[in-house]
Amino acid sequence: MGVFKRWVKSKESTKTAYWYVRYSINGKDKWESVGKVGDVTKLVAQRKLERIKGKIRMGLYEYQDNITLAELENDHIK
């Protein structure tokens, strides 16, 4: 588990750095983007990881590999 910076190359061949958190749930390693470096600080990424780890310990964190647009819209509306 940890916080790391990852450089992502766009279609225009420009590189942009993003903060990611890495954690393990149900024996599977997961990566999750937190935001663009400069817009989001490393401290914010670390705090997000701590919240995720706390939810995992309490059994409340559910990671969905395949989420549909309709499910995303419903969550946003709620």
Give, for 51, the enclosing helix (H) or strand (E). Answer: helix 42-58
Name all contacts of 69-76 with Cβ < 8 Å and 24+ positions apart: none
Could you report the per-residue pLDDT of 44-73, keeping only the tens digit for each?
A: 999 999 999 998 888 877 666 666 667 767
2-77 — its CATH code?
3.30.160
Give, for 73, the enclosing helix (H) or strand (E). Answer: helix 69-77
Q: Give pTM, 2 decimals.
A: 0.70
Beta bridge partners of 29: 24
Q: Which residue shows structure tokens 């225009």?
A: 12
- Both structure tokens of 29: 């390693």
What per-residue confidence (pLDDT) applies to 47?
A: 95
Domain ranges across the chain: 2-77
